[in-house]
Amino acid sequence: MATKITKINQDTFMLTDKLIRVNQFLLCGEKRALLIDTGYGGEKFLRAVKKVTALPVTAANSHLHPDHSCGNYLFEEIYVGAADMPENGMPSNELAHSVAEYYRKNTHIPKAVINKVEKFGVMQPREEKYLPLPELMDLGGRKVRVLPCPGHTPGSVLFLDERDKTVYAGDAINPAFWAFTCPNTVFSAYADVWGSLKDKLCGYKEIRISHHTKPLDIGYIDAFMENLRSLTEKDGKLSFIKGGTKEPVYIYKKHNEKYGDMAVWAYPSQVR
Ligand SMILES: [Zn+2]
């Protein structure tokens, strides 16, 4: 798929898949480049990476969801959060299959369309080798720290670029956070996960996320935590995901004066 290259600064780039609109990030040091997420891969994506840097590339995933990791096959080695290592199972495959099965059985949507959408929801490792992310990645004159942030998937991580004071968060925080992809995540516990990371994020300025091209400012974390702690079942409306999930998926939403609507997609049992 076609990839748009956006230069964030002289050695930091955002690579956006034009169809699915998911961002990958390339951080170049003096010796290596770190590629955060591989999107859906493809020759055009690989060409975009090579166009941006001639450095050896270390590829890593913010988490093992298909829109972040289907391009892993383009690299010999891939780093992921320990809890998302493939031997622990693919975090979203079962969900994608069961939702697709529901739509095949209960709707008149052409099966070819459902099958195609289902493929976008499934991640299948190939020959690439998986390694657990270290706590620190040294790119040469640029260090990136890795912090586990379990909640969207068990192995979701944050990448902290110490030089630019930027956090790369994948899907771990955003205005439409998906909690139902990890049914054990309850709102208060996930707010506590972020609370426990706050000290380590002191001095950081902004957060780059996967499904918006604009960064969030670091103050978003406090608002996100407050939202998680204040949402109740009354704030929920049924989402368009109509079946095939363990419970119905609701969108729990409140409006924040500074940041606008803050939504969490979740099962009712997660709202506590
Ligand atoms: Zn995800």
The yes-or-no verdict on residue 242 having pLDDT over 90 is: no
**What's the rounded mean pLDDT across residues 79-99?**
94
pLDDT of residue 19: 83
203 φ, ψ (degrees, to nearest 5): 90, -10
pLDDT of residue 218: 98
Q: 3-96+122-270 maps to which CATH number?
A: 3.60.15.10
The yes-or-no verdict on residue 1 having pLDDT over 90 is: no
Alpha-carbon dihedral angle through residues 84, 200, 177, 8, given to the nearest 10 degrees: -90
- Buried residues in 68-100 as b, exposed as e (16+ CB within 10 A): bbbbbebbeebbbbebbbbeeebbbbebbeebb
CA 230 to CA 108: how far, in whole Å?
A: 39
The yes-or-no verdict on residue 16 having pLDDT over 80 is: yes
**What's the rounded mean pLDDT across residues 225-237?**
98
Distance of CA 63 from the midpoint of ligand 1 (Å): 7
Distance of CA 171 from the midpoint of ligand 1 (Å): 5
Distance of CA 64 from the midpoint of ligand 1 (Å): 7
Distance of CA 104 from the midpoint of ligand 1 (Å): 24
Distance of CA 62 from the midpoint of ligand 1 (Å): 8
Distance of CA 178 from the midpoint of ligand 1 (Å): 8
- Which of 161, 166, 151 is CA-nearest to residue 216? 166
Q: Which residues contact 259 (CB under 8 A, 6 or more apart)?
A: 175, 216, 220, 223
DSSP assigned state of 73: G
CA 104 to CA 114: how far, in whole Å?
A: 7
21 φ, ψ (degrees, to nearest 5): 60, 50
Distance of CA 93 from the midpoint of ligand 1 (Å): 12
Distance of CA 210 from the midpoint of ligand 1 (Å): 9
CB 124 within 8 A of CB 101: no
Distance of CA 141 from the midpoint of ligand 1 (Å): 30
Helix 93-106 vs helix 111-120: angle between axes, to the nearest 10 degrees?
170
Q: What is the pLDDT of residues 135-167, one digit of tens each?
A: 999 999 999 999 999 999 999 999 999 999 999
Give percent above pLDDT 90 in the chain.
96
Distance of CA 194 from the midpoint of ligand 1 (Å): 17
If you average pLDDT over every residue of the chain, what do you get? 96
pLDDT of residue 176: 97
CA 116 to CA 28: how far, in whole Å?
A: 35
Amino acid at 191: A
Distance of CA 253 from the midpoint of ligand 1 (Å): 19
Distance of CA 156 from the midpoint of ligand 1 (Å): 9
Distance of CA 170 from the midpoint of ligand 1 (Å): 7
Question: Which pLDDT band, with edges at 50, 70 and 90, does 231 fall under?
Answer: very high
Rounded-to-5 percentages of helix, strand, coil across the chain: 30, 30, 40
Distance of CA 32 from the midpoint of ligand 1 (Å): 26
Pairing of strands 260-266, 206-209: unpaired
The yes-or-no verdict on residue 266 having pLDDT over 90 is: yes
pLDDT of residue 158: 98
The yes-or-no verdict on residue 18 having pLDDT over 90 is: no
Distance of CA 81 from the midpoint of ligand 1 (Å): 13
How buried is 190 (Cβ within 10 angstroms: 0-12 exposed, 13-18 middle, 19+ buried)? Answer: buried
Q: What is the pLDDT of residues 190-207, one digit of tens each?
A: 999 999 999 999 999 999
Distance of CA 65 from the midpoint of ligand 1 (Å): 5
Note if the pTM is more than 0.95. yes
CA 90 to CA 64: how far, in whole Å?
A: 7
Distance of CA 40 from the midpoint of ligand 1 (Å): 13
Q: What is the pLDDT of residues 29-80, one digit of tens each?
A: 999 999 999 999 999 999 999 999 999 999 999 999 999 999 999 999 999 9
CA distances 35 to 17, 47, 85, 220, Å, are: 14, 13, 18, 24
Question: Which pLDDT band, with edges at 50, 70 and 90, does 243 fall under?
Answer: confident
